[in-house]
Structure 1
């Protein structure tokens, strides 16, 4: 894979992360968001899918210490842990009947004003984690830009 393709994939993963965070905000703002469109599991979101596939190759770059990728992973886990708190406010795993209800597993529930305030607090914390994660992703991107194309092409 060429250097530009590696950078494109990283940028697409970063963009996917930003969209994921925006969907969490839409959920809190009352927009009817499907629970499946904001994956709780860090390996199920588009950023996580990139990170645990193409992204792992970047661990072997000499100017990209393992700590960078570990830092990204740690922040990504924290982000999803924080979102789980929001998810638990908005979605319920109540016993349901019917084909589609059983298929999707969760139902959107009505929330109180107190729950809305709590979810907004959780979202602010999620946003702070996201900013740190984006800083790390940007740092990774700068490191990739600084590496000669030949070196990247040897890895992937």
Structure 2
């Protein structure tokens, strides 16, 4: 199997991992239980980030590769914000007996959930930017000759 084929397969797997991760964020807002593996992490620790900063870093000479980093980090920041909106009760003032009696607790929760949904719309927009850059990166890789790919990997290893 050629180096180019391996890179394209890794790139497609990374893209699928990204899409799956966005689905987890959507499920979180829908109230589904979150597995420990799907709790927000920094952009360097997710499956896509491990590829990007690991094997994928050999492609760092390509502009389409470099265009991915900031939106990817922004995406993680948004996901962390959504997670905190939904689960960080430490920052929520206790409504007290009368507040609970009058339903203020559920009103606050609903407001946080609505804000999380709004932030998820932003997250989806950033995700689309990332996917567009990934498509461009794949096109750029496919356009490279085998010699150019070898040079990229030789330079990355040196």
TM over 0.5: yes
- 2:109 is matched with which residue: 106, 112, 118? 112
- 1:137 is matched with which residue: 134, 137, 147? 134
Does structure 2 conserve the Cα–Cα contact (< 8 Å) formed by 1:35 and 1:91? Answer: no
Residue-pair matches, total: 136
SS of 1:43's partner is: coil
Shift of 1:147: 0.9
Does structure 2 conserve the Cα–Cα contact (< 8 Å) formed by 1:20 and 1:38? Answer: no
TM-score (norm 1): 0.79
- Counterpart check, 1:89 vs 2:85: yes
Q: Which has the larger radius of gyration?
A: 2
Gaps of 5+ in 1: 95-109
Gaps of 5+ in 2: 91-105, 154-158
Consecutive aligned runs of 4 or more in structure 1 exceeding 4 Å deviation: none
Does structure 2 conserve the Cα–Cα contact (< 8 Å) formed by 1:3 and 1:152? Answer: yes
Shift of 1:128: 0.2
| Cα distance change of structure 1 residues 81 and 120 upon mapping to structure 2, 3 Å threshold | same
TM-score (norm 2): 0.78
- Counterpart check, 1:34 vs 2:31: no
- Counterpart check, 1:52 vs 2:49: no
Taking only aligned residues, the RMSD between alpha carbons, in angstroms, comes to: 2.0
The equivalent of 1:101 in structure 2 is none
